[in-house]
Homo-oligomer: A and B are copies of this chain.
Amino acid sequence: MPQVPEDVVWLKPGQIAERAGVAVSTLHYYESMGLIRSRRTSGNRREYRRDTLRVLAFIRASQRVGISLDRIKGALDRLPEEGLPTARDWARISREWRDDLNERIEHLTALRDRFSLCIGCGCLSLKSCPYSNPDDILGADGQGALRFP
């Protein structure tokens, strides 16, 4: 039962920004995108829940591996509105992301290995190598989307 909002501490924009390593303007931007939320003080100042730091860390980590804010928002939207996200919530997202990561890792590894091969044979400059002929590369792959790897 971690649904109980344990110790909800509210932090000011500057504090959040500094600890999360983002600009205050970025917080505004994320808020306008619906990625994070805030409440207001009587003087109209924003206040962020402490766990916003976690969300921001999650956003940065996801972005870092090339996931768009849109997709990140999609995942965050599926978290519960009220109460803290449960282990199950994060697990679902993590699994989703992990599959994505696995796919990317596979692509990168394949490409790296191809390049490694090329180091041995210099294929990109010689006709003899199967990878050197752009037509073959084109033909090897039905669609126009995935060209080289």
Assuming the contacts A58-B148, A107-B65, asked whether A85 and B19 have C-beta atoms less than 8 A apart, the reply is no
Instruction: State the majority secondary structure of interface residues on A.
Output: helix
Assuming the contacts A85-B124, A125-B84, asked whether A134 and B57 have C-beta atoms less than 8 A apart, the reply is yes
Q: How large is the interface on A (under 10, 10 to 19, 20 to 34, 35 or more residues)?
A: 35 or more
Assuming the contacts A66-B66, A105-B109, A111-B101, asked whether A118 and B90 have C-beta atoms less than 8 A apart, the reply is yes
Q: Please state if B94 and A116 are interface contacts (CB–CB under 8 Å).
A: yes
Q: Does A89 contact B (CB under 8 A)?
A: yes
Q: Does A74 contact B (CB under 8 A)?
A: no
A85 / chain B contacts, CB cutoff of 8 Å = 124-125
Q: Please state if B2 and A86 are interface contacts (CB–CB under 8 Å).
A: no
Point out the residue from B20, B54, B149 that lies within 8 Å of A64, measured CB to CB: B149
